Chain A
Amino acid sequence: MPTNRCESHFELFGLPQSFEVNLAKLDRIYRDLQRSVHPDRFTNASEQERRISIQQAARINDAYAILKDPLSRGRYLLELHGHEFNDENSTTRNTEFLVEQMELREVLADVRDSDDPMGALNALMDRITDRLKESTQRLSACLDQDETGQLTGPIDGAVDTVLKMKFYRRLQEDMLDLEAELDNDLA
């Protein structure tokens, strides 16, 4: 009897467990899976089927969201390899990066008072976008696996990169908030 409660997200989508994912294929499979379980396909079914269909559709949405995004995919892959992230306590010990964090925070704090706040903000946004791109490449290299699915390198580098990316993402969020504020001020 088929049961797929405990499958990994990769297994659910029939994809190899790897950081490199064929996104076009992921999209296609996602849509076909949703077509087969989405509650809109069960409007006239029994309450029970509708409940199960919602659960399945939610599970597929969740898995898709994780696999689609490099940060959450990398993080998930590390969890599959046995690393536990503890959100409150996970900080990097990389001093170089700590210095960079402080610097970036300062740049963001100064945006408001600069001559051209929007311009300054956009420049910072571009910088962070580049950083995220670099980090994604690094993460990909760190998460290289051998034929048996074991990581070829030490896990620390990958964990560190995930934490970095998390920081950049948070900074992005804050930048978007600031953009909205600046937008409101201009109006």
Chain B
Amino acid sequence: MALLQISEPGQSTTPHEHRLAAGIDLGTTNSLVASVRSGSAETLPDAEGFHLLPSIVRYVTNGDPVVGSVAGAMAVADPLNTIASVKRFMGRGLDDIKHLGAQLPYEFSGSGSGMPSIRTVAGDRSPVEVSSEILRTLKDRAEHTLGGELSGVVITVPAYFDEAQRQATKDAAQIAGLRVLRLLNEPTAAAVAYGLDRGSEGIIAIYDLGGGTFDISILRLDKGIFEVLSTAGDTALGGDDLDRAIAAWMMEQASVEDDAGHGELRRLMQDACAAKQALTDKKSVRVEVQRSDGPDWQGELTREHCNELIDPLIRKTLRSCRRALRDAGVRVEDLLEVVMVGGSTRVPRVRELVAEFFDCEPMVDIDPDTVVAIGAAIQADILAGNKPDDETLLLDVIPLSLGLETMGSLVEKIIPRNTTIPVTRAQEFTTFKDGQTAISLHVLQGERELVSDNRSLARFELREIPPMTAGAARIRVTFQVDADGLLGVTAQETTSGVLSHVEVKPSYGLTDREIETMLTASINHAQGDMEMRRLQEQQVAAERLLEAIHSALLKDGDDFLEPEEQERIAQAVKLLTKARQGRDHQAIKRAIEGVEKASLQYVERRMNANIQRAMAGHKLQEFE
């Protein structure tokens, strides 16, 4: 039924079939799942009626990990096996994590892929696996509440997440057995929920200060289109850091050493957070530090003093705001509204300084905790195909420039930050030795000139380049960033037309093989082996393709295809139909490729017709 969408975007051949879809806000401190039910999006509670799931996973010796508040209750007693704020480690290397703060209460071990693991009683667990436990808990909750299997989910990520962090999130979803319809930027999700609710049209700013990350996005809302003009932020700055600033002051006052025990540090962070929250309503609050090796300390924290402690951090967010405005080419007075999102925007001082910077009262009347999940649920419902006539479209940007390492350890930018995605850019390379058959490329993300100051994303090895004299080969490398912000690389030698094989070595990610191993190890897939899973994947892909081609041919096969072209497609379809009934996943894959090859021109012609139809509509409008 999917191909029909080409001629009538969003239309399904079976309009009344409702697909279960959900939006997931995978947060640093709390996570949420929401879904559109009888027309309105709402967050889904657990059996006890709680909507927020604390993003905490506790590993135990024998048995399944525990997720949520039950795990959180053990954070002080069992700090090493109780993992909180794991989002901070996603797509990061060991060095980055150490850089995040010397006071992290976990033990890390490096692993082959460059992605570190956390030592627990249940064995080493990568941040991706820990996240997948949270996702699985939310998946179970949604499927239980909605009464069926989810056809797909939209998962939100900070807008300022780099490619490695996005990929890590998608990997976690895969391990949790979720089909990701889209990775959606948190501020964009908030804008969708907010914009649709208020019917706002114009340029708005979303200021999103969460538990561990900060984003600012400038968007233009116009007739269902949510166009992100720019985004800026800090993926290592959030409410946690405000707590840490307060905790550091408490430690200093109570003369607690930096190397205090893990449990003690955890308690300090919790007390600091409680003090911060209490100061939302009160002018001052009593704080105390119980010490194992000395007299307890008691003191007073006034709101004024607290502001002094956290001001530098809030001012840091305002610098990002300034840059986002510059990049968008928008002045403060052009903004219709500034919308506050994320639990940390409850802090009065944050609101004060934001109001001062934007010279207007920010909107604080939406629930800053749930708005992102609600927006994700709305988008999931649309992407699943449940709202065929919906005109909503989200156009997002890449938050950080993508570049390649060149001579002298410098970075050459290929795709600048705040470019609308999807985007493709091609670059030509040549060989510098006779008979050279491989080229290696280092892809980086960031704004700085030096390689070492940017994030290393991956190294690509282009192999099987036809041997030629030095400088004769023309290798065209195409970088593609899809709507999720994920990078793909293809390469072709243009004089011979030979496709080079691209081998990816993610700097901080998991290889496909590692993901497979984790999949096999995970509970959901324990019974089935890898072969079985591959077969199922190919069967699903075959099913989708056959349905799509069938309904497309019925609709307009005669308009776009000569009889012999139709015959060629029919032959390929016949082969695929036969292969699908077998159990050889490779044969199905080959047959899928056969159908794709036979129908490539057809699909292209339809897509072009689509464009022309959109243009024809315009020509009509212009005459009206």
Contact = CB atoms under 8 A, between A and B. Distances in A.
Contacts of A28: 618
Interface string B105-131: 000000000000000000000000000
B608 interface: yes
A37 B611 contact: yes
B385 A44 contact: yes
Contact of B615 (A1, A29, A38, A55): A29
Contacts of B482: 39, 54
A35 interface: yes
A55 B423 CA distance: 8
Interface in B154-185: 181-182
B393 A34 contact: yes
B424 A55 contact: yes
B526 interface: no
Contact of A3 (B326, B384, B545, B608): B608
Interface in B502-545: 541, 544-545
Contacts of B614: 29, 32-33, 35-36
Contacts of B433: none
Contacts of A95: none
B422 A29 contact: no
Interface string B356-399: 00000000000000000000000000111100000101110000
Contacts of B615: 14, 29, 32-33
A57 B422 contact: yes
A96 to B, nearest CB: 29
Nearest to B380: A43
Given A1-B560, A36-B610, A43-B383, A52 B603 contact: yes
Given A36-B613, A37-B611, A56-B607, A49 B548 contact: yes
Interface string A15-44: 000000000010011011111111111111
Contacts of B618: 14, 28-29, 32
Interface string B311-347: 0100110010011001000000000000000000000
A65 interface: yes
Interface in B540-565: 541, 544-545, 548-549, 560
Contacts, number: 152
Give chain A's interface residue range (CB within 8 Å of chain B). 35 or more
Contacts of A86: none
Contacts of B583: none
B619 A35 contact: no
Nearest to B395: A34
B454 interface: no
Contacts of B222: 31
Contacts of B152: 43
A169 B384 CA distance: 43
A54 B420 CA distance: 12
Residue with the highest number of chain B CB atoms closer than 10 Å, among A35, A37, A49, A176:
A49
B393 A38 contact: yes
Given A56-B611, A180-B323, A35 B422 contact: no
Nearest to A36: B614
A49 B2 contact: yes
B570 interface: no
Residue with the highest number of chain B CB atoms closer than 10 Å, among A44, A45, A56, A65:
A44
A48 interface: yes
Nearest to B397: A61
A113 interface: no
A34 B227 CA distance: 11
A144 to B, nearest CB: 24
A56 to B, nearest CB: 6
B548 A45 contact: yes
Given A14-B615, A37-B611, A57-B422, A2 B394 contact: no
Given A1-B605, A48-B603, A49-B6, A40 B611 contact: no
B611 A49 contact: no
Given A40-B182, A180-B323, A183-B319, A48 B9 contact: no
Nearest to B12: A44
B404 interface: no
Given A4-B608, A62-B423, A40 B2 contact: no
A46 interface: yes
Given A4-B611, A37-B610, A41-B5, A58 B480 contact: yes
A153 B3 CA distance: 49
Given A34-B395, A39-B482, A44-B544, A2 B421 contact: no
Contacts of B10: 41
Given A43-B181, A52-B604, A65 B419 contact: yes
A53 interface: yes
B483 interface: yes
Contacts of A88: none
B617 interface: yes
A59 B607 CA distance: 13
Contacts of A59: 424
B609 interface: yes
B234 interface: no
Nearest to A31: B225
A187 interface: yes
A47 interface: yes
Contacts of B599: 48
A41 B316 CA distance: 38
A102 B48 CA distance: 70
A184 interface: yes
Nearest to B2: A45
Given A31-B225, A34-B395, A41 B9 contact: yes
B565 to A, nearest CB: 10
Nearest to B227: A31
B78 interface: no
B469 interface: no
Residue with the highest number of chain B CB atoms closer than 10 Å, among A45, A61, A180, A183:
A45
Nearest to B420: A61
A93 to B, nearest CB: 27
Given A36-B614, A48-B603, 5 more contacts: A31-B223, A32-B614, A33-B614, A44-B384, A54-B422
Interface of A: 1-4, 12, 14, 25, 28-29, 31-49, 52-59, 61-62, 64-65, 176, 179-180, 183-184, 187
The 10 closest A-B pairs by CB, nearest first: A45-B2, A36-B614, A41-B9, A58-B424, A46-B545, A43-B383, A48-B596, A58-B422, A32-B614, A44-B2
19 contacts: A3-B605, A14-B615, A31-B225, A32-B615, A33-B614, A36-B9, A37-B607, A37-B610, A41-B9, A43-B383, A45-B5, A46-B2, A48-B545, A52-B603, A54-B424, A57-B483, A58-B422, A61-B423, A176-B323
Interface of B: 1-3, 5-6, 9-10, 12, 152, 181-182, 222-223, 225, 227, 312, 315-316, 319, 322-323, 326, 382-385, 391, 393-395, 419-424, 480, 482-483, 541, 544-545, 548-549, 560, 596, 599-600, 603-605, 607-615, 617-619, 622
